[in-house]
Amino acid sequence: MTIGGIGLALPPGAKQTELWDGYFREHFPASARPLAERIFANAGVVTRQACVNPLIEDVSDWPTAKRMERYLVEALPLGKEAVSRALIDADMSIDDIGLFAVCSCTGYVTPGLDILLSRDLGMAPATQRLFIGHMGCYAALPGLGAVSDYVTARGRPALLLCAELTGLHIQPSTTRFDTQQIVAHALFSDAAAAVVVRPDGPGYQLAEVASVTDTATADHMTWDVTDLGFRMGLSPKVPQVLALHVRTLVDDLLARHGLSRGDVDGWAVHPGGPRILNVVERELELSVEQMAASRETLAENGNCSSPTVLLIVERLRRRVRPPERIVTLAFGPGLTLYASLLLRNAG
């Protein structure tokens, strides 16, 4: 099975400096402002996108119910755009799709995006659906694994959509010094990415998806539903945990396919933040050039949660000389590390 098409949909963007000067400077307490300004300046983000731009509309005091209503309003057209672009890229019709899977951790609605988008896109009533929720930034990789298993078993194409609206979850301004919220507000962004997986043809073959979860550090990354949106918990120890596991995860994955890190010419590393990228670069002994696509995505798009690794794959795929072998890496609650190996098939 191969990734035959990718489609991206990005809401309007804003400069990181504009977001700081126009909103976040006054959003954080005075005692936290010097640190917050440094965090925003050193986040590696130049531009990021938001369906609800805080420079125009402040949602920080909205109750969760109102945020969920807005999630539906914004996520549907964004998801439809990404899916439509992926189908065009794959030169396929919506009628060809046997399974439609959706990943999202930034909103809840029932009927879900899978059902409502199936309706709006005109999918057949017999199309199977799967919703993957609350897995966070790494959800695209188990999502790819699930749709690929379907393609292998049924011999029919499948479609995966990752849609996240993190901008809906800006937390209220408080007098409490909260470094974790500052970091979250400096990094996160909105996006949707869709992938068509088919039994054969040109594209990238998904050779394997692998993971490791360190349950002893489950409290290091959290995403709690509160009365005022979803609240991020992000321990500064996360990079240390990644350092313990990422080399073994990647080396074992590659060894099962007779490869080593030197055989990989494309790296799509989820940019959870500059420290995350620095740790992966160090532990895997990667060059600045090998990490360039991940850092460029962080700079241009921020951390978009689950769609981000697909944004990086698309960036690599569109190079004049696309990589022959891509390793993707993404990290999230658990604390969980996911990896996949993609092998280029010229058809």
User: Token digits for 197?
Assistant: 């997986």
* Number of structural domains the chain divides into: 2
Residues 56-79: what's their mean pLDDT?
A: 97
Does 117 share its domain with 178?
yes
Asked if residue 28 lies in contact with residue 12, where contact means CB atoms within 8 angstroms, the answer is no
> Comparing 76-80, 119-123, 177-181, 258-262, which segment has the lowest mean pLDDT?
177-181
From 51, 103, 137, 304, the catalytic residue: 137
Mean pLDDT over all residues of the chain? 95
Q: Angle of helix 179-187 relative to helix 33-41, nearest 10 degrees?
A: 30
> 11 near 70, Cβ under 8 Å?
no
Shared-domain flag, residues 146 and 179: yes
Q: How confident is the model at residue 19 (pLDDT cuts 50, 70, 90)?
A: very high
- Does residue 162 share a domain with residue 244? no
Report the range of poorest mean pLDDT among 68-77, 133-142, 177-186: 177-186
The pTM of the whole model exceeds 0.85: yes
The Cα–Cα gap between 129 and 110 comes to 14
Averaged pLDDT, 292-319 = 97
- Other CB atoms within 10 Å distance of the CB of residue 238: 20
DSSP letter at 56 equals T
- Per-residue pLDDT for 241 more than 80? yes
Whether residue 40 sits in one domain with residue 157: yes
Residues 211 and 75 in one domain: no
Distance of CA 65 to the CA centre of its chain: 24
- Let me know whether 161 and 24 are in one domain: yes
Question: For the chain, what percent of residues have pLDDT higher than 90?
Answer: 92
Q: Which amino acid is at 99?
A: L
231 and 152, same structural domain?
Answer: no
Cβ distance 206 to 148 under 8 Å? yes
pLDDT score at 175:
66
Residues 209 and 299 in one domain: yes
pLDDT at 199 over 80: yes
- Using the structure block, give the residue that is written with the tokens 């005022």: 228
- For residues 296, 298, 300, 306, the Cα torsion angle rounded to the nearest 10 degrees is 120
- Judge if 158 and 241 occupy the same domain: no
What is the pLDDT, as a whole number, of residue 215?
93
Q: Which domain holds residue 220?
A: 203-345
* pLDDT for 174: 77
* Final residue belonging to a domain, choices 180, 198, 216: 198
Q: Give residue 162's pLDDT band: very low, low, confident or very high (50, 70, 90).
A: very high
Residue for token pair 């992938």: 195
* C-alpha span between 284 and 279 (Å, rounded): 8
Average pLDDT rounded to a whole number, residues 164-176: 89
Cα–Cα distance for residue pair 60/22, rounded to 1 Å: 15
Q: Could you tell me if 276 and 295 are in contact, meaning their C-beta atoms sit under 8 angstroms apart?
A: no
Q: What's the Rg (C-alpha) of the chain?
A: 19
| Tens digit of each residue's pLDDT (9 = 90 or more) over 270-281 | 999 999 999 999
H-helix segments, 218-338: 238-255, 274-283, 292-301, 308-317
Of 199, 197, 196, which is closest to residue 154 (Cα–Cα)? 199
Asked which of 198, 216, 240 is the last residue of a domain, the reply is 198
Any idea which of 19-23, 29-33, 191-195 has the lowest mean pLDDT?
29-33
Given 137, 167, 198, the domain boundary residue is: 198
**Is 162 labeled as catalytic in the residue annotation?**
no
Q: Verify that 175 and 238 share a domain, yes or no.
A: no
State whether 17 and 90 are in the same domain. yes
Confidence of residue 37 (pLDDT cuts 50, 70, 90): very high
CATH code, 169: 3.40.47.10
Average the pLDDT over 32-58 and give the result.
Answer: 95
Residue 63 and residue 20 in one domain: yes
